[in-house]
Chain A
Amino acid sequence: MLGLIAGIPYWAQSLLRVLGGIVAVLLPAGTIVYVFLFKMMSFMQSRLGPMEAGPFGSLQLFAEVGKWLQKEDLYPERADKFIFKMAPLIVLSSTFLLVAVVPFGPDAWFTNFEAGVFYALAVSSVSVLGILIAGWASANKYSLLGGLRGAGQLIAYELPMVLAVIGVVIQADTMNLQQIVVAQNAGSIFGWDGLGNPYILTQFIGFIIFMIAVQAELTQTPFDMPIAESELVSGYMTEYSGFRFLIFFISEFATAGVFALIASILFLGGWGVPFSWFGWTSIDSIDNWMNVVGPLIMFTKMMLLVFVIMWVRFSYPRFREDQLQRFAWKVLIPLSLVNIMATSVLKVAF
């Protein structure tokens, strides 16, 4: 929003950014929870989902949030109260920081880092701290096991994720997310530019590895051992209730949305449409209406990817902790290294 408002005072810019950030976090979280969790998956599981609150249950989310906000803020007697209370905020802040680099249109961005990819990957791993301290501070054995599993898993899957992105970075010649979007939409495949060059085609292996790693980073089934409700009750979230649980809940789905946004930027062409459709040549020649349409395109792509994430979540059983580690270190990481090597060879060759 925010190349557009460069003229207004700094405090107003900051306020707008904060508001924009909150919208950008809550909107995907809300729609994912409502559309996918409540309805889509209910239909997949041959049930109706919410029906009572509002028409077709559309106000269910508000009802749920209202319920959680009313609840008492409980914490275990032997918990380390300060960090127990802080943990959900750390997890949520990681989500907010992640949104900061996501470009929604040619001029609609919060910050336009040169090393945006680097920043996004670094910031996304902050949430592991929140999970770890939530598990430790709860003074509960299930939480502790969940927190430790979470830490091990998130660290293990950080690596394939980074390595999968390197392929994209090599191909796009840049670490700036905005430039990556432009590179895909302005690109061409063997001289044909009707689709641009979305990296999902050329970096398909990278895309698959990235999505698997995202699934693990989000601790969604089949990688949901940190929560594993049939083993560890709720893992690191066991002792949380009321609005602190709500924060975990929101950040879980908001992070899913934000990761889907990043994946759509890296592999699906982000907010853009192929430049050849409208005869644009560079980012400067893009029409201004793309600042409105761009976010909608992003949103559509996000929903698509989240659909995949949720679909997998609701149809797969869960891995075991050691199988998950083996999968990361023995399959994903070697595969992504091969992918990087192939990408660089081809990059030099063409």
Chain B
Amino acid sequence: MTMLGDRQQLAYIASQAADARVNVELETEGMTLNIGPQHPATHGTLRIIARLDGEQVVWAEPSCGYMHRGYEKLTEVRTFPQVTALVNRIDWLGSFANEVPFILAAEQLMGIEAPPRAQWIRTILFELSRIANVSLVLGDLGVQLGAITPVFFAFRDREYVLNLIEGATGGRFHPNFDRIGGLKDDLPAGFIDETRAVMRKMRKFCDEIEGLLFGNEIFEARTRGIGVIPRDVALQYGLSGANLRGSGVDWDLRRDQKLPMAWDKVDWKVWTHPDGDSYARCWIRLQEVRESTLIVEKLLDSLPSGPVMAKVPRIIKVPEGEAWVSTENPLGEMGYYVVSKGELGPFRVKIRSASFNNISIVPWLLKGVYVPDIITILASLYFILGDIDR
């Protein structure tokens, strides 16, 4: 460093001090914003505590538990068939899909398998609940980003799918239809033709949403490059479903796992997107609804005949053992780790729900984004409160 004269040195110090003062003065006070638990964008009671600098998020942390119902504890005092009534309420938009992995786990421990027709119907109802669930979130995506109309289309068309589920199971939201060893009932008369018609409607709905939202420049500006999750981070946090495939991981439990279900009996495609941003995740959801309608149609074509219930004892006692079964639910990987001690009910059930993992990435993802992007990111990660808190 060159030596400076006194005068120069003083001037230098003064200018530095002036700079420092300006920096101190411009450093604005942060603000802590509580988004939720009652907030229009959190569809449920998720609360996000965000520290803001202006509109930029410095630090954010979701705070859940406003809806914790203690299902893992409750399962310990239920019998195996009773548990399905509980787990129905985990992801309440795609309830039937919650029952399936639990029933499969129990069946695996008992060493029984549902008859083919039951497997087909299970898969059909599973995909129908995926369509009902994800089509709603596609509409909701519009609301989160400020477009009001798509959600009305979504509610309108989801109704047809719910009618189908109601027709087959008797319950619109909580079917509780799956039984250990098969299903409660066979399909009602006319179900097949009606389902084909509805599947065509749902594909039209997908086209509408694609035109209304995905082709919109503002939608692209709001979602492209927002909330990018790199592949290895997604794996580390255990993201699943469209969130994982949106980061370019080609992994779908329906295809990559051998389960007594009918997915491997028909031909379909797993969609992935390399970008990992909000747009990619939403786009994959849209494609998956389309793909699901096709799966349902193909399954209807090949629906085998036969009984829908295997022979199971009247009193179900599950032999001692442990089983892990997970399926590709509308929200992502939903799995049950069932420990049985050979009694009427499970000894311990660990419920691995998709949203819990999907939302645990939020603190990492929200650093440095703007307030409107919080909403975009949450909407694109897509969670259901019951699925986080269980």
Contact = CB atoms under 8 A, between A and B. Distances in A.
Answer whether A and B touch in the complex at a CB cut-off of 8 Å. Answer: yes
Interface of A: 44-47, 141-142, 145, 149, 221-222, 224-225, 228-233, 314-323
A316 B39 contact: no
Contacts of B136: none
Contacts of A45: 148-149, 152-153
6 contacts: A145-B33, A231-B372, A231-B374, A317-B142, A317-B216, A318-B372
A221 B372 CA distance: 14
B149 A317 contact: no
Contact of B146 (A142, A145, A230, A323): A230
B51 to A, nearest CB: 12
B147 A221 contact: yes
Interface string B63-87: 0000000000000000000000000
B152 to A, nearest CB: 4
B41 interface: yes
Contact of A316 (B144, B218, B372): B218
Nearest to B151: A45
Interface residues of B, number: 30
Given A46-B153, A317-B222, 9 more contacts: A44-B149, A45-B152, A141-B31, A229-B40, A230-B143, A316-B146, A317-B146, A317-B147, A318-B218
Contacts of B40: 229-230, 233
A222 B41 contact: no
B146 A228 contact: yes
Contacts of A221: 146-148
A320 B373 contact: yes
Contact of B375 (A222, A231, A316): A231
Nearest to B147: A317
Given A222-B218, A230-B41, A316-B216, A321 B370 contact: yes
A228 B372 contact: yes
Contact of A318 (B152, B156, B222, B374): B222
Q: Which of A45, A229, A320 has the most CB of B within 10 A?
A: A320
Interface of B: 31, 33, 39-41, 55, 142-149, 152-153, 156, 212-213, 216, 218-219, 221-222, 370-375
Given A222-B218, A314-B148, A316-B216, A321 B372 contact: yes
Contacts of B212: 315
A141 B371 CA distance: 12
B146 A222 contact: yes
Contacts of A47: 152, 156
A322 B55 CA distance: 10
A319 B147 contact: no
Q: Which of A221, A315, A316, A321 has the most CB of B within 10 A?
A: A316
Contacts, number: 81
B39 A233 contact: yes
B218 A317 contact: yes
A145 B31 CA distance: 10
Contacts of A228: 146, 372
Contacts of A233: 39-40
Contacts of A142: 33
Given A230-B40, A316-B147, A46 B156 contact: yes
Q: Which of B146, B152, B216 has the most CB of A within 10 A?
A: B146
A136 to B, nearest CB: 13
B221 A318 contact: no
A320 B213 CA distance: 16
A231 B41 contact: yes
A145 B52 CA distance: 11
B249 to A, nearest CB: 28
Nearest to B35: A231
A225 B372 contact: yes
A224 B146 contact: yes
Contact of A320 (B33, B143, B144, B221): B221
A317 B213 contact: yes
A231 B55 CA distance: 11
8 closest A-B pairs by beta carbon, nearest first, are A318-B146, A317-B145, A45-B152, A317-B147, A230-B41, A320-B372, A317-B146, A230-B144
B370 A230 contact: no
A231 B147 CA distance: 13
Contacts of A149: 55
Contacts of B213: 317
A296 B375 CA distance: 44
A319 B371 contact: no
Nearest to B141: A317
B222 A321 contact: no
Contacts of B143: 230
Contacts of B148: 45, 221, 314
B222 A319 contact: yes
A73 B126 CA distance: 50
B218 A319 contact: yes
A314 B149 contact: yes
Q: Which of A225, A232, A317, A322 has the most CB of B within 10 A?
A: A317
Contacts of A322: 370
A319 B374 CA distance: 14
A315 B149 contact: yes
A141 B216 CA distance: 31
A327 to B, nearest CB: 9
A44 B370 CA distance: 32
A221 B156 CA distance: 23
A321 B147 contact: no
Contacts of B41: 230-231
A321 B143 CA distance: 17
Contacts of B156: 46-47
Contacts of B373: 320
Nearest to B372: A320
Nearest to A322: B370
A46 B222 contact: no
Contacts of B222: 317-320, 323
A315 B31 CA distance: 33
Contacts of A317: 142, 145-147, 213, 216, 218-219, 222
Nearest to B212: A315
Contacts of A44: 149
Given A46-B156, A230-B40, A315 B372 contact: no
A222 B372 CA distance: 13
Nearest to A232: B371
A90 B370 CA distance: 30
B369 to A, nearest CB: 10
Nearest to B148: A314
A46 B153 CA distance: 7
